[in-house]
Chains A and B, each alone.
Chain A
Amino acid sequence: MHKTLCRGYNIGIRLIDEFLAKSKVSRCGSFRETVDIIAKQAFLMFLNMQCTVSKWTQDGSECSLIFTDNPLTEFVELPSEFQELQYCNILCGVIRGALEMINMDVDVRIVGDMLKGDEVHEMRLRLKEQKNEDFPYKDDE
């Protein structure tokens, strides 16, 4: 079930271009900067809300996106038999897809969900690998 809901990935790989075309942001220097732009600009453009970035780990490879108003879950209640369903999982897929297109391999998962009685929605982002070069080949390859 959660696997099928991960289809946000395909949305992400297309959506990133719209975001870049319309927001006119330039190249980000760090993962931290990228996450800030997602939180402040991308969420605003596509979901009309902003979220806060917090809980950075020491090495700056992991952080949380926290938000309270979520247009996806307005008028939604989870029936008791689907309590383990991660309703907002699509957002994880979108972010993963979008960041993959700009050479960042991330892992995104939901750790807090207001539908399940948590106080805030919380998504955890973990940077697995960042490929800096557009042209990743060495001379002898």
Chain B
Amino acid sequence: MVSIYTLYVVNKSGGLIYSRDFTSVAKVDLNDALRLASIWHSMHAISSQLSPVPGCTGVELLEADTFTLHCFQTLTGTKFLLVVEPNTPYVPALLQRIYEVYSDYVLKNPFYEVEQVIKCELFDEHLELAVRRHNV
């Protein structure tokens, strides 16, 4: 039983820089994923404007009957979106772990240009590992 469906990474200007499906159940094609990322980015910005209480940092969770979307925005503006099965536990911890993996294997890769599409083998490997460990 797989509980983590997909990971998207969105840069601070709303561009999709990484998408990864962990299961064959949830397939979104790349164009739709790009659209989803930029829509989410704007929605996130709007939601923080909507808040009656100042200091809101935007929408963090989207619940639907067949999936749940967790959004984690770092203080530097990068967003990690994780689409999971409903009622999957410990997703915020996994997102934090993914952020660590990102800072270790993407940002420290000298061939990676900041804000550009992520193509890092080590990131793929360690991401896979983190997700697999979460699923057991």
Contacts and interface: CB of A to CB of B under 8 A. Distances in A.
B76 A20 contact: yes
A21 B48 contact: no
Nearest to A14: B107
Contacts of A18: 100, 103-104, 107-108
A134 interface: yes
A16 B100 CA distance: 11
A58 to B, nearest CB: 27
B23 interface: no
Interface in B49-96: 49, 57, 74-78, 96
A21 B78 CA distance: 12
B49 A21 contact: no
A6 B104 CA distance: 23
B76 A21 contact: no
Given A21-B96, A21-B102, A16 B76 contact: yes
A18 to B, nearest CB: 4
Contact of B103 (A17, A27, A102, A135): A17
Interface in A1-46: 13-18, 20-22, 24, 27
A27 B49 CA distance: 18
Nearest to A28: B75
A17 B76 contact: yes
Contacts of B102: 17, 21
Interface of B: 45, 48-49, 57, 74-78, 96, 99-100, 102-104, 107-108, 114
Given A15-B107, A16-B76, A102-B75, 12 more contacts: A13-B114, A17-B102, A18-B100, A18-B104, A20-B74, A21-B99, A21-B103, A24-B96, A27-B57, A101-B77, A102-B76, A135-B48
Across chains A and B, which 5 residue pairs bring their CB atoms closest together, nearest first?
A18-B103, A14-B107, A17-B103, A21-B100, A21-B99
